[in-house]
Structure formats: structure tokens, C-alpha cells
Amino acid sequence: MVEPRVLSFREAVLEALFLEMHADPNVMLIGEDVGAAGGVFKQTEGLFKTFGATRIIDTPISEPGAFGMAIGAAMAGARPVFEVMFGDFMTLCMDQLVNQAAKVRYMSNGRASVPLVLRTTMGTGANLGPQHSQGFYAWAAHVPGLKVVVPSNPADAAGLMRAAIRDNDPVLFFEDRMLYPAKGAVDADIPLVPIGKARVLREGSDVTLIAIGRMAQFALDAAKRLAADGIEAEVIDPRTLVPLDQEALLQSVRKTHRAIVIDGAPRSYGVTGEIASIINEDAFDWLDAPVMRLGAADTPVPISRTLEPLWRPDAARIEKAVRTLLS
């Protein structure tokens, strides 16, 4: 077996991109400053030197047209990875995403497809404020025809990026920028992670914490603190929201009889409500308490150093919620 290496989230995804571009000449990278500049967050560093300007396309600041072109490229045989620098800018691509990319397979009765990855960043913690922080994965998950991936650690992110590029449908890939420097063990050959499979990050018997993206890291921190008091939390990262590995979530709830769903996006009409409903519908008889939901405030993301950390859940709030649920 090849020794695992310790890579940051950013480095791991970059290696995944390199591997896939190397393996398949149809893979293209399209976005703003993704070429010679190597990405605003150094997330495409070095790729341009290897793969050049025919496969790595630096676009003008023209998200609707450039993303529409990525869809056309995908329909014509390419496998574009399209980068939206900040998740908030995804709104500029929404028509192309919802009315073209998501519907082509269905409209064509399976005769055409759009094998592309829309990669974007999100996250709070750097005071980037209302128009540079949000992740619209819940919106995307509401659109039939899209797949939605929200990884929480380097190995999953890299393996899922490889799988997303190989997938024959439009896959939206949401990266929390605050995780970019986070290190983790990654097998040298970067194994594929199947889209649609949840991962149990920590086993436990007292409560199930279902946590999205970076929230999974907060949930692990909370679980560690709770363990000191003899409370064993099971932490599950769904990894992909569409398709959602419902059975893995339900199995855990049937074991622990309690669940908290934790998300870093506004709570109303979001992912937590969907997952809580699934548990209520399919595991109600196993529950000892109502499913609890933790989400961000139903407000835009404030820029203030005082207000921003209050906006979304963190380890302390998760810990407190578990104690409340168990009391």
C-alpha cells in the first residue's frame, strides 16, 4: 500500500485536477484568473504551465456567457471544470445552470448530457461580507438534474473532484475557503470517492450529528469535548447532497435515536429541513426526541468581526445543542 501523505484541502483538490486533466484530454478548466495567475486562492496553481491556453481558458468577467459556453462545450464533448470565484457570483450563472445545464439530459430524453463541474468557493471567517461569503448549495439541490457536492476534508474533496469530473451530469462542487489550509491524510493515488455516499467521520451511540461541509469539522470538535463527559456523538458527513445517501443517515439515527442536522447556510427552507423531514418520515419510530436543526441566521452575512462569527453554527453551539437535546 502507498503511504498516505498530508496535504491541505487546496493542494489535494489541485492534485485531483492535475490527475484528471492528465488522464483525459477533454477536461478543460474555464474561469477568471485560473490560468497564468493560478487562481485567486492559488487553487489552480501550476496547471497552466502543464496544460496551456487551449485547455485552460481565462475568461473575461462575464459569468453568464462564459458559463453558458462551458455548457455548450460539455454538450459538444468536452468535460469543463468551470470556476466561479465566489459562490455569491453563482447567481450570475443561474439561468444557464437551471434552464440549460440541468435540463438538457431530460429534455433530450437522455440523448444529450452536460458533463461539467461548476466549482465555487464560500465560507465565513475572513470578513468578506454579504456578497462574497454565501454558498447556494441548497438552491442547487432544489433543481432537478444537478448533482451537489460539499466536501469537508482534503481526502474527500480530492476524491470527489475526480469523481465529479468523470460524472456525466452537471456537478456543483462547493469548497469552503476556510478549509483550504486544513491538512489531512490523502492516499498517494488519490482514490475516487463515489458521489452519493455519506461518510461516518466518528462513531458514537448517543446522538447523530449530520453536518454539511465545514460544519463537519465543527461537529468533530464538539464531539471531542462531549466525549470528555462521556457523551459519544456520531458524526456523519453526507458529502453529497444530491444524490443524498439517505440510508446511511437513517441507519445512524436508528442506532442513536437522536439527531441534530447542522448547516452553515441560512436555516429556513434549507438542507436541514429536508434532512430532518427524511428522518421524520423514515425513522420516526426510532426517535427519542424531535430532530433538532442548527443553521445560520436568516440574514445576509455581515462583515463585522463581531457579527460574522455569530452568523453560523460553530463547535460551541453544536456542543450546547447536544447537551440540550440529551437533557
Partner 1 sequence: MKQTTRMAAASGRPEKTSPDWLGMHRTMLLIRHFEEAVRSLATAGAVPGLVHLCAGQEATNVGVIAALAKGDMIASHHRGHGHCLAKGADVASLLGEILGKEAGLCGGRSGSMHFIDLDNGNLGTNGIVGGGIPLAAGAALAARARGGDEVFVCFFGDGALNQGLLHECMNMTAIWKLPVVFVCENNGFGEFTAIDDVTAGPSIVARGEVFGIPSKMIDGMDVRTVFTTTQRAVTRARAGKGPSFIVCNTWRFGGHHVGDKQDYKADAETKRWLARDPIPKSAKRLIAEGLTTAVKLKTLEAQITTQVRVAVERVRNAPEPAATRLAEHVHG
What residues are labeled active site? 63, 132
Which grid coordinates are listed for 181? 489550509
Among 50, 131, 168, 299, binds partner 1 (CB under 8 A): 168
Measured from the CB atom, the residue of 76 and 228 that comes closer to partner 1 is 76
Measured from the CB atom, the residue of 68 and 129 that comes closer to partner 1 is 68
Site for partner 1 in 39-98 (CB under 8 A): 54-55, 57, 59-60, 62, 64-78, 80, 95-96
CA distances from 23 to 51, 260, 317 (A): 12, 41, 44
CB of 25 to partner 1, least distance (A): 7
Burial class (CB within 10 angstroms; exposed 0-12, middle 13-18, buried 19+) of 288? exposed
CB of 176 to partner 1, least distance (A): 25
Measured from the CB atom, the residue of 247 and 288 that comes closer to partner 1 is 247
Measured from the CB atom, the residue of 54 and 327 that comes closer to partner 1 is 54
CB of 66 to partner 1, least distance (A): 7
* Structural element, H or E, at residue 209: strand 207-211
**With contacts defined by CB under 8 A, how many residues of the chain interact with partner 1?**
47
- What angle do helix axes 9-23 and 47-55 make, rounded to 10 degrees? 50
Among 21, 28, 117, 244, binds partner 1 (CB under 8 A): 28
Report the C-alpha gap between 222 and 227 in whole angstroms. Answer: 9
Per-position DSSP letters for 239-307, written without gaps between them: -EEES--HHHHHHHHHHHS-EEEEEEEESTTSHHHHHHHHHHHHHGGG-SSPPEEEEE-SSPPP--TTT
Q: What's the sign of the alpha-carbon dihedral 14, 16, 19, 25?
A: negative
**Per rule CB under 8 A, is residue 112 in the interface with partner 1?**
yes
225 sits in the region (left: phi over 0; alpha: psi -120 to 50; else beta) called alpha
Point out which span in 100-108, 119-127, 128-136, 316-324 binds partner 1 (CB under 8 A).
Answer: 100-108
**Per rule CB under 8 A, is residue 106 in the interface with partner 1?**
yes
Contact residues for partner 1 (CB under 8 A)?
25-26, 28, 54-55, 57, 59-60, 62, 64-78, 80, 95-96, 99-100, 103-113, 144-145, 147, 167-169, 243
